[in-house]
C-alpha cells in the first residue's frame, strides 16, 4: 500500500530558507542544502522548494541550489517559483529536480501545464494552487502571485481543469489557514480530493501532530506539507510519523531486520 | 565506471549523482554507435516518459545494438523505471511497441482502483532472496512513479509491491536487473541497493 507522505516545504529567498505568516513577514530559517540533508535524515518523504523571489536572473542561482541538493539528498524534490515556460521547466528538471510546481503561470497560460506534461510526463508537473474561501461563503476562489491577487476562478473548476491538462499532482494551499497553525483546511481539502483523481498535497495550517492525523483521517489528501513547524523544530517529522502509525495511517517507517 | 544511457528521457542527474554518491565513476552516453563498451563495468538505462518515444530514440541513437552487445559480456545492466519497462518484450503504452526483449513479459497499463500514477513510497514483498537485498530492512520502502507495469509475476521477478494489484518491482535474469521504482529517489534504501548493484561490477 502507498504511504501517506510528510513533506517539509522550504521557501527560498535569495538562496536562504524563509518562512512567512500569511505570505508576509518573512523570517530566515537556514541554509537550504543543510536543511534538505537534515530532513532526509529525519524521515521526510519528499521535499518541496519554492523560490518566492524567482526572477529570470535568479533562475541560475536556483538551478545551482537544486543541483547541490540533488547531489546529497536522494528523495523526491519538487521545485517551484516563477516557472513560466517549458524551457524554465527543463532547466530546473535538468538541474536535478523531479517535479516542477506551476502556480500563477498555469492560470495565465493553462497550455503550459499541457505542454509540460506532454514533454516531461504528468508525474513531473505539480499544479500548485492557492485558494481562499469566497466572502459569500460559497466555495473557494484561487489567488495568484503568492496569494496576493484574486482571480475570480472557482477552486473546484480549476483543479479539475489542472487534472485534465495533465498535472500529476495538486499542491493545495489554503490562504485562510496558511501560517495560522490552527490546522489544515479540511473542508477545502475534502472538496478538492473528492473532485480529482490525482494526488493532493495538503498545505497551510499545520500546527500540531493532531492536525496531520486529522488531514489524513478526514480528507483524501495523499500528503501533508508544512514549513515553519518543521524548520523551527516545533514538531519532529519522526514524531508525526509514529503518531500517524498509532492512528493506523500508513506512513514510511523502516522495520530493521 | 558505469555508463548511463541518455536518450532524452528526462532526469539522468539523480541516478548519476546517486551512483557517484556510492563511490562509482559515471559517464553519460548520448550515442551508442561508436561507444566502446569495454570501458564500462556496468550500464544503466534510466528514463521517464512514454514507451514508444523512448524505444524510437534508443533506436535513433544506436543504443539497441549497444545494449545487446553489452548484455552478452555478462556485465551488470540495470534498467530503472521506464528503462526497466523497455527491457521486456512488448509495451502497450499508447500503441503496441516492441521492447528490447531482454526479459520475459509485457508492459501494460496498471489496473487498480487506486489513483494512477502509482506515485509515492511503497513496501516491497521479497519473493526470492538475492544478494541485491543485503542490508535492507524487512519489506523495505522504495519510491515509485509509474502508470504501466510488468503484466505478470514471471519466474524472473524477485520482489513485488501491492497497489490494488500485484506490481513486479525487482526483476533479475543473470546480469540483467530491473527496478520499477527509483533507487535514486528512495533515500537510504535506494543508496543501499545501488551499493549492492555496485558489488556486482
B184 is catalytic: yes
A11 is catalytic: yes
In a 3-state reduction of DSSP, which class is residue B57? helix
Q: Cα(A91)–Cα(A113) distance, rounded to whole angstroms?
A: 16
Distance of alpha carbon A82 from the chain centroid: 14
Which of A83-87, B48-52, B112-116, B163-167 is the least confident region? B48-52
Q: Domain boundaries in chain A?
A: 5-246
Q: What are phi and psi of B196, to 5 degrees?
A: -65, -35
Residue of A39, A100, A241, A252 best to disrupt the B interface, most CBs of B under 10 A: A252
Residue-level pLDDT at A61: 82
Identify the band that residue A25 occupies on the pLDDT scale cut at 50, 70 and 90: low
**pLDDT over threshold 60, residue A83:** yes
Instruction: Judge whether B198 and A51 are in contact, CB under 8 Å.
Output: no
Q: Cα(B156)–Cα(B133) distance, rounded to whole angstroms?
A: 15
Contact between B21 and A71 using a beta-carbon 8 Å cutoff: yes
Instruction: Judge whether A9 and A227 are in contact, CB under 8 Å.
Output: yes
Contact between A67 and B13 using a beta-carbon 8 Å cutoff: yes
E strands of chain B, at which residues?
2-5, 26-29, 42-45, 77-80, 90-91, 97-98, 106-109, 118-123, 125-126, 141-146, 148-150, 157-162, 166-173, 176-179
**pLDDT over threshold 70, residue A26:** no
From the candidates B118, B141, B146, B182, give the one annotated as an active-site residue: B182
Report which of residues B84 and A54 the model is more confident about: B84
Report which of residues B122 and A14 the model is more confident about: B122
Which residues make beta-bridge pairs with A6?
Answer: A224
Report which of residues A42 and B13 the model is more confident about: A42
Mean pLDDT score of chain B: 94
pTM of the model: 0.92
B186 touches chain A (CB under 8 A): yes
Nearest beta carbon to residue A2 from set B18, B120, B138? B120
**pLDDT over threshold 80, residue A53:** no
Contact between B163 and A70 using a beta-carbon 8 Å cutoff: no
Cell of A237: 517529522
Q: Domain A5-246, CATH 3.20.20.70 — does that match?
A: yes
Contact between B138 and A3 using a beta-carbon 8 Å cutoff: no
What residues of chain B lie within 8 A of the CB of A123, using their CB?
A: 48, 117, 119, 145
DSSP category for residue A4: P
Cell of B32: 551508442
Question: ∠B18-B22-B24 over CA atoms, to 5°?
Answer: 90
**pLDDT over threshold 90, residue A252:** yes
Which of A127-136, B40-49, B57-66, B133-142 is the least confident region? B40-49
Contact between A1 and B49 using a beta-carbon 8 Å cutoff: no
Mean pLDDT of A80-95: 90
Report which of residues B8 and B6 the model is more confident about: B6
What residues of chain A lie within 8 A of the CB of B48, using their CB?
A: 120-121, 123-124
Mean pLDDT of A156-179: 96
What residues of chain A lie within 8 A of the CB of B83, using their CB?
A: none
Instruction: Judge whether B117 and B145 are in contact, CB under 8 Å.
Output: yes
Note the maximum CA span of chain B: 46
Beta-sheet strand order (sheet of B2-5): B26-29, B2-5, B42-45, B77-80, B176-179, B166-173, B157-162, B125-126
**pLDDT over threshold 70, residue A54:** no
Q: Cα(B178)–Cα(B169) distance, rounded to whole angstroms?
A: 8
**pLDDT over threshold 90, residue A58:** no
E strands of chain A, at which residues?
5-13, 16-21, 24-30, 47-51, 77-80, 99-102, 125-133, 140-144, 149-154, 169-174, 200-203, 223-226
Report which of residues A29 and A120 the model is more confident about: A120
Q: How many angstroms separate the CA of residue B101 from the nearest CA in chain A?
A: 24
Instruction: Judge whether A62 and A50 are in contact, CB under 8 Å.
Output: no
Nearest beta carbon to residue A74 from set B115, B139, B191? B191
Residue-level pLDDT at A56: 64
Instruction: Judge whether A23 and A146 are in contact, CB under 8 Å.
Output: yes
In a 3-state reduction of DSSP, which class is residue A166? coil
* pLDDT tens per residue, range B138-171: 999 999 999 999 999 999 999 999 999 999 999 9
Neighbouring CB atoms inside 10 A of A135's CB total 7
Which of A88-102, A150-164, A203-217 is the least confident region? A88-102
* pLDDT tens per residue, range A105-127: 999 999 999 999 988 888 899 99
> In terms of CA atoms, which chain B residue is nearest residue A200?
B115
B28 touches chain A (CB under 8 A): no
Contact between A74 and B119 using a beta-carbon 8 Å cutoff: no
Mean pLDDT of A165-184: 95
Contact between B121 and A2 using a beta-carbon 8 Å cutoff: yes
What residues of chain A lie within 8 A of the CB of B145, using their CB?
A: 123
What residues of chain B lie within 8 A of the CB of A1, using their CB?
A: 122-123, 162-163
**pLDDT over threshold 70, residue A44:** yes
> In terms of CA atoms, which chain A residue is nearest residue B10?
A120
In a 3-state reduction of DSSP, which class is residue A129? strand
Cell of B40: 564500462
> In terms of CA atoms, which chain A residue is nearest residue B190?
A74
Cell of A106: 498555469
Cell of A15: 538562496
Cell of B200: 556486482
Domains of chain B, earliest start first: 1-197 (3.40.50.880)
Q: What are phi and psi of A156, to 5 degrees?
A: -65, -40
From the candidates A45, A51, A130, A214, give the one annotated as an active-site residue: A130
Residue-level pLDDT at B48: 72
Q: Cα(B10)–Cα(B192) distance, rounded to whole angstroms?
A: 23
Parallel/antiparallel/unpaired status of strands B141-146 and B118-123: antiparallel
Cell of A70: 540533488
Cell of B23: 563511490
Which of A3-12, A38-47, A226-235, B168-177 is the least confident region? A226-235
Cell of B78: 540495470
Percent of chain B with pLDDT over 70: 99
Percent of chain B with pLDDT over 90: 87
Contact between B141 and A252 using a beta-carbon 8 Å cutoff: yes
What residues of chain A lie within 8 A of the CB of B186, using their CB?
A: 74-75
**pLDDT over threshold 60, residue A24:** no
Parallel/antiparallel/unpaired status of strands B77-80 and B176-179: parallel
Percent of chain A with pLDDT over 70: 94
Residue-level pLDDT at B13: 83
Identify the band that residue A21 occupies on the pLDDT scale cut at 50, 70 and 90: low
Which residues make beta-bridge pairs with A223?
Answer: A5, A201
Nearest beta carbon to residue B186 from set A74, A199, A257? A74
Mean pLDDT of A72-97: 92
What residues of chain B lie within 8 A of the CB of A257, using their CB?
A: 136-138
Residues 6+ apart with CB under 8 A from A42: A236, A237, A238
Residue identified by cell 518484450 is B89
Residue-level pLDDT at A164: 98
**pLDDT over threshold 70, residue B6:** yes
Phi-psi category of residue B62: left, alpha or beta, with phi > 0 → left and psi -120 to 50 → alpha: left
Identify the band that residue A233 occupies on the pLDDT scale cut at 50, 70 and 90: confident
Identify the band that residue B125 occupies on the pLDDT scale cut at 50, 70 and 90: very high
Report which of residues A64 and A243 the model is more confident about: A243
**pLDDT over threshold 90, residue A204:** yes
**pLDDT over threshold 80, residue A227:** yes
Amino acid at each position: 500500500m502507498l504511504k501517506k507522505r510528510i513533506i517539509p516545504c522550504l521557501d527560498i529567498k535569495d538562496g536562504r530558507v524563509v518562512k512567512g505568516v500569511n505570505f508576509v513577514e518573512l523570517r530566515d530559517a537556514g541554509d537550504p542544502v543543510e536543511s534538505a540533508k537534515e530532513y532526509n535524515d529525519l524521515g521526510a518523504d519528499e521535499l518541496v522548494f519554492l523560490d518566492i523571489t524567482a526572477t529570470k536572473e535568479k533562475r541560475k542561482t536556483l538551478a545551482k541550489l537544486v543541483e547541490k541538493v540533488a547531489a546529497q539528498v536522494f528523495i523526491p524534490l519538487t521545485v517551484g517559483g516563477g516557472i513560466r515556460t517549458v524551457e524554465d521547466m527543463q532547466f530546473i528538471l535538468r538541474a536535478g529536480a523531479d517535479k516542477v510546481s506551476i502556480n500563477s503561470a498555469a492560470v495565465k497560460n493553462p497550455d503550459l501545464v499541457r505542454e509540460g506534461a506532454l514533454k516531461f510526463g504528468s508525474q513531473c508537473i505539480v499544479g500548485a494552487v492557492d485558494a481562499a474561501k469566497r466572502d459569500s461563503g460559497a466555495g473557494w476562489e484561487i489567488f495568484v502571485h503568492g496569494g496576493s491577487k484574486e482571480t475570480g476562478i472557482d477552486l473546484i473548476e480549476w483543479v479539475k481543469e489542472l487534472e485534465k491538462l495533465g498535472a500529476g499532482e495538486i499542491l493545495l494551499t489554503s490562504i485562510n489557514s496558511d501560517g495560522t497553525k490552527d490546522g489544515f483546511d479540511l473542508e477545502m481539502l475534502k472538496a478538492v480530493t473528492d473532485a480529482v483523481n490525482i494526488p493532493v498535497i495538503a498545505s497551510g495550517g499545520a500546527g500540531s501532530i493532531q492536525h496531520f492525523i486529522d488531514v489524513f483521517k478526514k480528507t483524501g489528501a495523499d500528503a501533508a506539507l508544512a514549513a515553519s513547524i518543521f524548520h523551527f523544530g516545533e514538531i519532529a517529522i519522526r514524531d508525526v510519523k509514529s503518531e500517524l502509525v498509532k492512528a493506523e495511517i500508513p506512513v514510511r517507517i523502516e522495520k530493521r531486520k | 565506471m558505469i555508463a548511463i544511457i541518455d536518450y532524452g528521457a528526462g532526469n539522468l542527474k539523480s541516478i548519476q549523482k546517486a551512483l557517484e554518491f556510492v563511490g562509482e565513476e559515471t559517464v553519460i552516453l548520448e550515442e551508442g554507435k561508436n561507444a566502446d563498451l569495454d570501458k564500462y563495468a556496468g550500464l544503466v538505462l534510466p528514463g521517464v516518459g512514454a514507451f514508444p518515444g523512448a524505444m524510437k530514440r534508443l533506436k535513433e541513437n544506436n543504443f539497441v545494438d549497444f545494449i545487446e552487445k553489452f548484455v552478452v559480456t555478462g556485465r551488470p545492466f540495470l534498467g530503472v523505471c521506464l528503462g526497466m519497462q523497455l527491457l521486456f518484450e512488448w509495451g502497450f503504452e499508447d500503441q503496441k511497441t516492441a521492447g528490447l526483449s531482454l526479459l520475459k513479459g509485457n508492459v501494460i497499463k496498471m489496473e487498480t482502483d487506486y489513483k494512477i500514477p502509482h506515485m509515492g513510497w511503497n513496501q516491497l514483498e521479497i519473493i526470492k532472496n538475492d544478494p541485491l537485498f543485503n542490508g535492507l530492512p524487512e519489506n523495505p520502502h522504495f519510491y515509485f512513479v509509474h502508470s504501466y507495469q510488468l503484466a505478470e509475476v514471471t519466474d524472473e521477478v524477485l520482489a513485488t509491491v501491492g497497489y490494488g494489484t500485484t506490481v513486479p518491482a525487482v526483476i533479475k535474469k543473470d546480469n540483467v536487473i530491473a527496478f520499477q521504482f527509483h533507487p535514486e529517489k528512495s533515500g537510504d534504501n535506494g543508496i543501499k541497493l545501488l551499493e549492492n548493484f555496485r558489488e556486482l561490477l
